[in-house]
Structure 1
Amino acid sequence: MIRAAFASAACCALLAALAGCGSVTQLRPKEGMSEVPQAANAQKRETPGQLMQPSTQAQPSRQADLLTKSVERQDDPFDLPPGPENGKTGN
């Protein structure tokens, strides 16, 4: 009984100590370290907040959801039949 109470108190103390370890301040480079370098073709240096925002290429805005109703497909001009060699090369 006493051992369980001691283990519970030790666990609570450990959790309280770990909860106090986190820091909520702005991140800054250490002394001697430079800021974020400027990209080669960039007009100005990006801020850390801008670097944390995913680009459109990384997170496209289009929806790739399944169709919810049947719709007639438009003619695809690039949907061509294979050529006489059926895509094979002369090996």
Structure 2
Amino acid sequence: MRATKTLLPLLLPLLAGACGLREPLRPAPGESMPPAPAMAPRAMTTDELLAPPPIGRPGRVDELLRRSEEREDDRFDLPPGDIPVDTDGASNSQDAPDQ
């Protein structure tokens, strides 16, 4: 019983690894590979279909912030359209008292 408890944790990873891929992937019986993309010279292989696109796994940027920098003025940083903007310094008609 003691040998079983000792060998079981060692054998489980071996058994799990043994049931892995032994031959290249193929479509299920009766199915076919996906058609080639438009304007592609050939259909994609199984490995190409399984590889994630660059947008799925973008490269990591390891550049650290080395120093603080003032942000430049952004001319497209505008307030939302539903908030009236006072450009000439005068108060809005909504804020002005009735006369």
Q: TM-score range by the shorter chain?
A: 0.5 to 0.7
Among candidates 5, 19, 23, match of residue 21 of structure 1: 19
How many residues are paired up? 82
Q: Which whole-Å deviations, capped at 9, do the CAs of 1:15-54 have from their partners, x for residues lacking one? A: 3444422234211223322112334x35342222222333
Q: Which runs of 5+ in 2 are unaligned?
A: 85-99
Whether the aligned pair in 1 keeps the contact of 2:27 and 2:33 (CA below 8 Å) is yes
Return closer, same or farther for 1:17/1:28 CA change in 2, 3 Å cut-off. same
Root mean square deviation of aligned Cα: 3.4
Match of residue 47, structure 2, among 46, 49, 52:
49
Aligned residue for 1:50, secondary structure, equals helix
Aligned to 2:83: 86
In the other structure, the counterpart of 1:75 is 73
Gaps of 5+ in 1: none
Shift of 1:77: 1.6
Q: Alignment identity in percent?
A: 35
Moved >6 Å (runs of 4+): none
